[in-house]
Amino acid sequence: MSHSAAAPVTGAPALPTIPFRELAPWALLFGLLGTLAIFFVSADQGAVSIPAGTAIHEWVHDARHLLGYPCH
Amino acid sequence: MNARAFLVRGLLAGLLAGLAAFLVANVVGEPHVEAAIALEDSGAVAPGGSHSHGEESAGHSHTHSSGEDEVFEVSRDNQRTWGLLTGSVAVGVALGGLVALVAAGTLGRIGRLLPSQSTALVALIGFVAAALVPFLKYPANPPAVGDADTIGERTALYFGFLLLSVGAAVLASYVACRLRERIGTYGGVVAGIAAYLLVVIVAALVFAPVSELGDFPADTLWSFRLASMLTLATMWGVLGVLLTGLVSRLYARETAVAQRRELAASL
Ligand SMILES: [Zn+2]
């Protein structure tokens, strides 16, 4: 492998990219997990209740107020 | 550089951002939360909805008029410490992972920006679109403000506006990148920002206002909202700075390895 042939015309090193195909499973899995975590802190047992009750709402209550989410 | 490397760094940066946000929220925000609850309990302000609260020491809780009678009590001591910590860290870690994966997707795709630069840009746009702009339309409210009967409507409005703002930011960023190739960086960036502002300003005018303040004292409200904004700014600021630093180091390490390999191959 010749190093001179791999260098781009400008001389700057090529920027790395991550193929979307490689990224997709990570984005899907963590997109769901992350959204779920934010849902439990921000909205659960207020407008929507999964599971029913008030335990989660009461426990994260102050975070919900101070992070700017509608609470009650 | 791969998706896993970004996610791990995002989770770490998010964890520390959540801890920092907790510290700010606890020190700067909690006095105003306590003041609001004291006002609520003394009946000095007339909240719109029907709330029931335990004794001063028992905790701050709400029963919704349409909801269950069973109220899970958490003491104020727990709410303002462990509860606040749980919520801040959970949101921090989640945001950290999400921002890192978006940064991974934009890697090498935003003009000639270096990995650390595109990561910093993603965090900055994330703060504006997911925290600052939603806050300007629907600012945070302390306990005692808000009618329990409208929580469904207010939740839908807040998250509807949040999603719209984030969606507009993604689209505007894409438009800016494409325009940049044709009219240059300056024109592309200005057009992208203008497009985003146009969408969120029209949306802010269309989305229903929420005004359930009643006679809540303005100084406590202002202090609470300032503390809330400081908490959000800390969360996103620490997340952005740490993730940018971690990505920068990762890139430097991989570049060094590649250079050594190239040098070895040329010998
Ligand atoms: Zn509340």
For the stretch B119-156, pLDDT in tens is 999 999 999 999 999 999 999 999 988 888 889 999 99
Average model confidence (pLDDT) across chain B: 90
Please determine, for residue A13, whether its predicted confidence score (pLDDT) is greater than 50.
Answer: yes
Lowest-pLDDT choice from B5-9, B166-170, B256-260 = B256-260
Would you mind telling me the total number of residues written for chain A in this entry?
72
C-alpha closest to that of B162 among B181, B143, B140? B140
By the 8 A CB rule, do B179 and B191 touch?
A: yes
pLDDT grade for B165, boundaries at 50, 70 and 90: very high
Hey, what amino acid is at B170?
V
Which sign does the torsion angle of CA B246, B256, A17, B192 carry?
Answer: positive
Please determine, for residue B86, whether its predicted confidence score (pLDDT) is greater than 80.
Answer: yes
For the stretch B15-66, pLDDT in tens is 999 999 999 999 999 999 999 999 888 876 655 444 444 333 445 555 444 4
What is the rounded distance in angstroms from the CA atom of residue B186 to the CA atom of residue B183?
8
The pLDDT of residue A8? 46
The pLDDT of residue A44? 84
By the 8 A CB rule, do B247 and B6 touch?
A: yes
By the 8 A CB rule, do B114 and B122 touch?
A: no
* Separation of CA B97 from chain center: 13
Binding-face residues of B in 107-136 toward A, CB within 8 A: 107-109, 112-115, 131, 134-135
| DSSP of B104-172 | HHHTTTSTT--HHHHHHHHHHHHHIIIIIHHHHHS----TT-S-GGGHHHHHHHHHHHHHHHHHHHHHH
pLDDT grade for B74, boundaries at 50, 70 and 90: confident
The pLDDT of residue B83? 94
Q: Where are the domains of chain A?
A: 33-72
> B69 — phi, psi (to 5°)?
-90, -20
Q: Which residue of chain A has the CA closest to B148?
A: A72
The pLDDT of residue B60? 55
The pLDDT of residue A6? 45
**Looking at the partner chain, which of A3, A22, A27 has a beta carbon nearest the beta carbon of B2?**
A22
Q: In angstroms, what separates the C-alpha of B91 from chain A's closest C-alpha? A: 5
By the 8 A CB rule, do B59 and B75 touch?
A: yes
C-alpha closest to that of B236 among B63, B5, B18, B29? B18
Q: What pTM does this model have?
A: 0.88
Q: Which residue of chain A has the CA closest to B135?
A: A68
Would you mind telling me the total number of residues written for chain B in this entry?
267
Return the higher-pLDDT residue of B74 and A35: A35
Please determine, for residue B9, whether its predicted confidence score (pLDDT) is greater than 90.
Answer: yes
Ligand 1 mean position to B62 CA, how many Å? 7
Using the CB atoms, write b or e for B189-210: b if 16+ within 10 Å. bebbeebbeebbeebbeebeeb
The pLDDT of residue B229? 98
> What's the number of CA atoms in the CB half-sphere (13 Å) around residue B265?
12
By the 8 A CB rule, do B51 and B40 touch?
A: yes
The pLDDT of residue B127? 98
Q: Where are the domains of chain B?
A: 3-266
For the stretch B229-246, pLDDT in tens is 999 999 999 999 999 999
Give the three-state DSSP class for A44. Answer: strand
